């Protein structure tokens, strides 16, 4: 049985990582997503804080949190958006994803009003177990051509209240309007 506590956890901003470290992270993500992780997905996970775990066999787990803007109910929120969460196949279901999320949640709680992420079916239980709440309202994005509804994201977007006193968005009041980016918006 593998010891789930092995492996050192480290956090670093993208600019602090070497080209070799970034290449190793990208290789983990390519393998973990079975080839369904493209250059735009990679770009979405850069420019923020990375949390990653190395074990004796190399990079075992990764996630990053980047800043996004979300408008809701006439207010713009500074959101820590979780990206590129993956665990090497031989280390899955051993608590590494939770350790990575714990580090990212500290960043979110200290620097943002809310946390947000779009979960895969496989990942949703991890986020629920950590107190993330499924958004039950509409999701939209402000594209270069105007507001675009994103109904496919409405059953996979999770939020986390980060700042003390931050009003949690009301799903019945209005949609979450995310900033635009190329590729998958969420």
Which residues are within 8 A (CB) of 44 and not within 5 positions of it... i.e. 6 or more apart? 66, 83, 84, 181, 183, 184
Instruction: Return the minimum-mean-pLDDT range out of 52-66, 82-96, 170-184.
Output: 170-184
Q: pLDDT tens, 21-44?
A: 999 999 999 999 998 999 999 999
Pairwise pLDDT comparison (166 vs 126), residue with the higher score: 126
User: pLDDT tens, 160-181?
Assistant: 987 666 777 888 889 999 999 8
The mean of the pLDDT values for the chain is: 92
pLDDT reported for residue 44: 96
> pLDDT (tens digit, 9 = 90+) per residue, 129-156?
999 999 999 999 999 999 999 999 998 9
State the pLDDT confidence band at 48, using cuts at 50, 70 and 90: very high
Instruction: Please report which confidence band the pLDDT of residue 87 belongs to, taking 50, 70 and 90 as the band edges.
Output: very high
Measure the CA–CA gap between 152 and 159, rounded to whole angstroms. 16
Q: What is the pTM of this model?
A: 0.92
Which range is most confident: 33-37, 43-47, 72-76? 43-47
- Cα-trace Rg, the chain: 16
- Distances 84 to 29, 46, 56, 66, 118 between C-alpha atoms, Å: 7, 9, 22, 10, 10
Closest to 100 measured CA to CA, from 57, 56, 62, 131? 62
The domains of the chain, with CATH numbers, are: 8-179 (3.40.630.30)
Which CA distances in Å does 71 have to 76, 97, 142, 153, 164? Answer: 4, 29, 9, 16, 19
Q: What is the mean pLDDT of residues 103-114?
A: 95
Confidence (pLDDT) at 3: 44
């Amino acid at each position: 049985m593998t010891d789930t506590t092995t492996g050192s956890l480290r956090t670093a901003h993208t600019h602090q990582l070497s080209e070799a470290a970034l290449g190793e992270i990208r290789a983990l993500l390519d393998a973990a997503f079975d080839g369904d992780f493209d250059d735009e997905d990679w770009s979405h996970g850069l420019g923020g804080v990375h949390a990653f775990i190395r074990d004796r066999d190399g990079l075992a787990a990764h996630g990053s949190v980047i800043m996004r803007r979300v408008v809701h109910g006439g207010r713009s929120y500074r959101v820590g958006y979780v990206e590129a969460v993956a665990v090497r196949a031989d280390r899955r279901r051993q608590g590494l994803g939770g350790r990575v999320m714990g580090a990212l949640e500290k960043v979110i709680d200290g620097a943002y009003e809310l946390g947000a992420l779009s979960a895969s079916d496989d990942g949703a239980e991890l986020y629920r177990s950590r107190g993330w709440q499924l958004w039950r309202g509409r999701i939209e994005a402000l594209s270069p051509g105007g507001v675009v509804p994103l109904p496919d994201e409405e059953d996979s977007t999770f939020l986390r209240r980060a700042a003390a006193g931050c009003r949690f968005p009301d799903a019945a009041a209005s949609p979450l309007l995310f900033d635009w980016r190329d590729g998958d918006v969420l």
